[in-house]
Chains A and B, each alone.
Chain A
C-alpha cells in the first residue's frame, strides 16, 4: 500500500464574511457612517447567503459580492450557483418584498420561525436589506446562477 498525502485548503467562511464587512467600510468611508453601516449589513447578509446556500455551477466553485457606487447609486450584487428549486424560492421571496411591506414580512417571518422550527430558510436577511437598509432588491436566475441586486441612492 502506498502512503497518501493530500492537502485540501478550505475557505474560512467567517473570515471571508468579515472581509466583506471590512472592505465595504473602507471603500464607502467617505459616504458617512449611516451608509457604511447599512451597506455592511446588506453585503454581509448577501455574503452569508452565498456561502450558506451557494452551489458550484458552470465550472466555478465560488460566489461573488460586488460593490458599486456610480452616478449617485449604490449597488451591492451577489451571484452564486444555485439549483432551480432554491432559486425559485429566493425569486418568490424577492417578488414579495417588491410588492408587500417589508416590516410586515419581517414580523410574519418571525412568527413563522416560532411556530415552525423546521422552517430553516428564514428570508430575514433579504427582508432586512429592504426594511432596515432602505435598499430596493431584485433577483434573477440564469444559466444556473442566482443574481441578487440591492440598490440605494447615495445622497
Chain B
C-alpha cells in the first residue's frame, strides 16, 4: 500500500507492508508550519508502524528549514516510545544533511530503538 503527502514543495512517499513503513522525503521542506502537514500524515501512518518498523529516508531531500526539525524529531521520539524500530537514512556527502543528522545521531543515543545511518 502507498500513501503520499504533497505540501508546499515537500513530497513524502510512504510504502506500507504490514507493520513495516518506509517514508522517502523528496523536494524541499520550506513550509513555515511544517508540523501542520507532517504530523497528521505520520499520525495516520503510526497506526501501521507502531511497535513495528519505520524507515525515514532523507537522502534525496534537497533542503529542510529549521522549522522542520521539531516535527521530525518529535515523530522519531514518539515512534521510539512505542518501541518501533526506526532507521534514519541520510547522505553524508550533502553538507546540511551531514551536519544536521550528525546531531540527530547524538540525540539518538538516548533512544533505544533508533538508528541513524549514512
Contacts and interface: CB of A to CB of B under 8 A. Distances in A.
Interface of A: 13-14, 17-18, 21, 34, 37-38, 40-41, 44-45, 48, 51-52, 103, 106-107, 110-111, 113-114, 117, 122, 124-125, 127-128, 131-132
A107 B30 contact: no
Sort A-B residue pairs by CB-CB distance and give the 6 closest, nearest first: A124-B66, A125-B66, A132-B99, A113-B70, A107-B103, A128-B66
Nearest to A128: B66
A114 B30 contact: no
A110 B32 contact: no
B60 interface: no
A51 B32 contact: yes
Contacts of A52: 32
Q: Is the contact region of chain A dominated by helix, strand, or loop, or is it mixed?
A: helix
Interface in B53-81: 63, 65-67, 69-70, 73-74, 77
Interface residues of B, number: 21
29 contacts: A14-B30, A14-B32, A17-B30, A17-B32, A18-B30, A34-B95, A37-B63, A37-B96, A40-B63, A41-B63, A45-B66, A48-B65, A48-B66, A48-B67, A107-B103, A107-B106, A111-B107, A113-B69, A114-B73, A114-B74, A114-B77, A117-B74, A122-B67, A124-B66, A124-B69, A125-B67, A127-B66, A132-B96, A132-B100
